[in-house]
Amino acid sequence: MILVTVGAQMPFDRLVGAVDAWAARVGRDDVFAQIGPRARRPRHIEWCEFLDPPAYRRRCERADAIVAHAGMGSILTALELAKPLIIMPRRGELRETRNDHQVATARRFCDKPGVFVAMDVEELEQRLERIDELAAGEAIAPVASPELLAAVRAFIYGDLPHA
């Protein structure tokens, strides 16, 4: 199963529409999309507007691959579960978000094993054509390491040694 997710805050019609068209063209019937509020409704894939956190987690666990916006929640979940992930960032200039922070996020993750970036619909279609061949990266830990937590606590409470 391919899970498409756009996060809970807003729709991402460009992403969902491209996956919907691809699924129709190639005859995929194993695509489920969480499309967000006020979104255009896909015609060729199963969908819902919103998944509560436990339902979202179950869908991610069952997915063979995840296609998502470049939101950190979606990225971290896919990495934690070691799922191949295609991300396409929302674009500020297209009024899909307030600014291009997702473009910056996508660029940051473009070399991460298991993450496949599509900066536009054409690249998304190219990645989708190979989705069954994409390999996941190594799973990341679901929580921060004790060393990182200690460093953050030290920073917050002013206990860092002075250089």
Write down the pLDDT at residue 29.
Answer: 97
| pLDDT tens digits, 62-91 | 999 999 999 999 999 999 999 999 999 999
Amino acid at 64: D
Cα separation, 156 vs 138, in Å, equals 31
DSSP of 23-37: HHHHT---EEEE--T
Tokens of 69: 């916006």
Write down the pLDDT at residue 38.
Answer: 85
| pLDDT tens digits, 125-162 | 999 999 999 999 999 988 888 888 888 888 888 765 55
| pLDDT tens digits, 3-41 | 999 998 899 999 999 999 999 999 999 999 999 998 899
| pLDDT tens digits, 112-134 | 999 999 999 999 999 999 999 99
CB atoms within 10 A of CB 131: 20
Q: Is the pLDDT of residue 163 over 60?
A: no
CB atoms within 10 A of CB 21: 17
**Cα dihedral: 31, 34, 106, 96 (round 10):** 120
List, in order of start, the domains of the chain with CATH numbers.
Answer: 2-138 (3.40.50.2000)
